[in-house]
Amino acid sequence: MSEKNHNVSRRQFLTYTLMGVGGFMGAAMVMPMVRFAVDPILQADAAGDMNELTALSDLTEEPQAFSLTYEVEDGWVTQTMEDTVWAYLSGDEVVALSPTCTHLGCTVNFGGDENNPDQFFCPCHFGRFEIDGTNVPGTPPTEPLHRYDTEIRDGVIYVGRPQPQQ
Ligand code: FES
């Protein structure tokens, strides 16, 4: 009777030992795979990156539309995106504005309204913005055009993501 209890206890000991060692080995194999699988989620958001726009010498005091190409990582997928940036010089300052109307998201153009050639114009509901992006009172947009953070390195302009101006 006591011999039988002793055998059962030994069997249990071996079972627990094998389960412990097996679990440890399994975790050692699985953890690197889990880390690899979730790694894109743990990466810093690409939205904080600065992307090359154009040479500083390309800018004038009148806003021009420049094409901005950048990559966005969404989980495991990397997509190439393309935006338009309206950029100009205000004295020594680089001003870079989003073309997205803050009313309902149509695309604005500079000088698109012949009666207001020095403003941004949105044809959808006749929204207007001053050259610095400030919304013109009495038109549908209720906030300024979003503005890009800018950096100049070696004569090249880099922009981040557009931010509200308020
Ligand atoms: S979407 Fe621009 S004025 Fe309405």
DSSP 135: B
pLDDT in tens, 47-95: 458 999 999 999 999 999 999 999 888 888 999 999 999 999 999 999 9
Lay out the sheet containing 64-74: strands in order across.
51-55, 156-163, 147-153, 93-97, 77-90, 64-74
What is the whole-number distance in angstroms between the Cα of residue 7 and the centre of ligand 1?
A: 82
**C-alpha–C-alpha distance, residues 140 and 125, integer Å:** 7
Element (H, E) at 30: helix 2-42
Q: What is the pLDDT of residue 47?
A: 46
Full DSSP string of 42-96: HSPPGGG--EEEEEGGG--SS-EEEEEEEEEEETTEEEEEEEEEEEEEETTEEEE
Q: What is the pLDDT of residue 23?
A: 76
Q: What is the pTM of this model?
A: 0.72
Q: What per-residue confidence (pLDDT) applies to 137? A: 98
Architecture of the domain spanning 46-163: 3-layer Sandwich (2.102)
> CA 91, 118, 161: angle at the middle one, nearest 5?
60
State residue 6's pLDDT score: 57
- Rounded to the nearest whole angstrom, what is the distance from the C-alpha of residue 165 to the centroid of ligand 1? 18
Q: How far is the CA of 83 from the centre of ligand 1 (A)?
A: 18
Ligand 1 neighbours by CB, cut-off 6 Å: 101, 103-106, 122, 124-125, 127, 140-141
pLDDT at position 7 is 63
Residue type, 93: E
Q: How far apart are CA 31 and CA 76, in angstroms?
A: 18
With the most atoms of ligand 1 within 8 angstroms of its CB, the residue from 100, 122, 135 to mutate is 122
Domain boundaries, the chain: 1-42, 46-163
Nearest alpha carbon, ligand 1 atom 1: 104
Question: 139 CB contacts (<8 Å, ≥6 apart)?
Answer: 125, 126, 127, 128
pLDDT tens string, the chain, 166 residues long: the values are 455 555 667 777 778 788 887 777 877 777 767 665 655 555 544 445 899 999 999 999 999 999 999 988 888 899 999 999 999 999 999 999 999 999 999 999 999 999 999 999 999 999 999 999 999 999 999 999 999 999 999 999 999 999 999 6
> For the chain, how many residues are written?
166
| Dist. CA 14 → ligand 1 center (Å) | 74
Atom of ligand 1 nearest to the CA of 139: 3
Position 44 scores a pLDDT of: 43
* Cβ atoms 54, 87 nearer than 8 A: yes
